[in-house]
Amino acid sequence: MKALNLMSFDQHFHLVHPEEFSHLTQDSSALAIFTDFKKHIPQAVVFNMPAMHAESMMRKAHVRLKVVVDKEGELVGTISVNELEEQKMFQVQQENGISKEEVLVQDLMIPRQKIKALEYDELAQASIGDVLETLNQNHQQHCLVVDSDEKQIRGVISATDIARRLHIPLPTERKTTFFDIFMALRPH
């Protein structure tokens, strides 16, 4: 046996990730960018969690969408950073006469009955470009995927993940509003 040489390394070394080694294009299979819940645990929050807490968790984890579940773990909606924006929380506060801390995820989420989803069998036949076009036409950043045959919510597709994997820029999701400026300048 012989000992191997240990070396020092500098800032020129790059930490690699598996997705860097699979070259994807818009013509690649849509399944390549699909987060399959058979392989990945869904990112979830409970419906009665304070919205401020959910927003903080999502930002720290760099997650832009979570499924919202009930006490039994079944999907009741979705929540994204867009629904958790300050203006929407403020509106719920005003409508219900409650404090910011009392605004819950369920007050801001997109309920299950309003969610549009892609069918898994159709996704399996589609390209990444097809998915991008669908998300663009429907002004969506995320889309759930369902398997109707199995009656399962199978996974999610994210425009942010697609942009990262294809190394393309994503258009800005929303512009700064007067309300954003007002809230930033307001004394806390």
In the chain the domains, ranked by start, together with CATH numbers, are 28-172 (3.10.580.10)
pLDDT in single tens digits along all 188 residues of the chain: 998 888 777 777 777 776 666 688 889 999 999 999 999 999 999 999 999 999 999 999 989 999 999 999 999 999 999 999 999 999 999 999 999 999 999 999 999 999 999 999 999 999 999 999 899 888 888 999 999 999 999 999 998 888 888 887 765 444 444 454 445 545 55
Each residue of 90-141: pLDDT tens digit? 999 999 999 999 999 999 999 999 999 999 999 999 999 999 989 988 888 8
The pLDDT score that the predictor gives to residue 21 is: 63
166/56 Cα distance (integer angstroms): 28
User: How far does CA 79 lie from the centroid of its chain?
Assistant: 8
65/110 Cα distance (integer angstroms): 11
